[in-house]
Amino acid sequence: MNEAAYSELEKRLLNDFQHGFPLSPRPFAELAERLGSDEQSVLDAYRRLQAEGVVSRIGPVFRPNRIGVSTLAAMAVPAEELERVAECISARAEINHNYERLHRYNLWFVVTARSEEQLQEALQAIEQDCGYPVMSLPMLEDYFIDLGFEIQWDE
């Protein structure tokens, strides 16, 4: 990452709060206090990072199937349709991210819902809205992988 592209506040927000994000009525005010800043500056920094695609979302990550249900899903989408279908999928509240893979099944995403019935309804709606069949791959056994990492800024 190009260090000059980010303010010191943005670098701290990206590095320091991959874990331990405050659970409080005003979490951004709490972050600001910890960082010697103000709530509006923290909100503005996160908005800029999100607008640039550096941050996709800020929110909790729950262990799969502890609250509601979820499944990993995949679609085989022609390359010329990939961006449109990814946007179609991302527009749904049940989706927290999707990503491309170099495989026949080239678009992968996680679908979450309150119940198995709502999960199946979401999968059917995705097929209908996006125009391609969805392969559902429900988890049989879970493994925790910590996706946090220390960002090494260019010096």
Query: What whole-number distance in Å separates Cα of residue 130 and Cα of residue 133?
Result: 9
- pLDDT tens per residue, range 54-85: 888 787 766 666 678 899 999 999 999 999 99
Task: Please state the rounded mean pLDDT for residues 132-149.
Answer: 82
Distance CA 27, CA 47 (A): 15
Write out pLDDT tens, residues 2-17. Answer: 556 899 999 999 989 8
Predicted TM-score (pTM) of this structure: 0.61
Q: How far is Cα 98 from Cα 75, in angstroms, rounded to an integer?
A: 11
Question: What is the percent of the chain where pLDDT is above 90?
Answer: 63
Contact yes or no for 77/132 (Cβ under 8 A)? yes
Torsion, CA 110, CA 115, CA 117, CA 121, rounded to 10: -40
- Report which of residues 22 and 57 the model is more confident about: 22
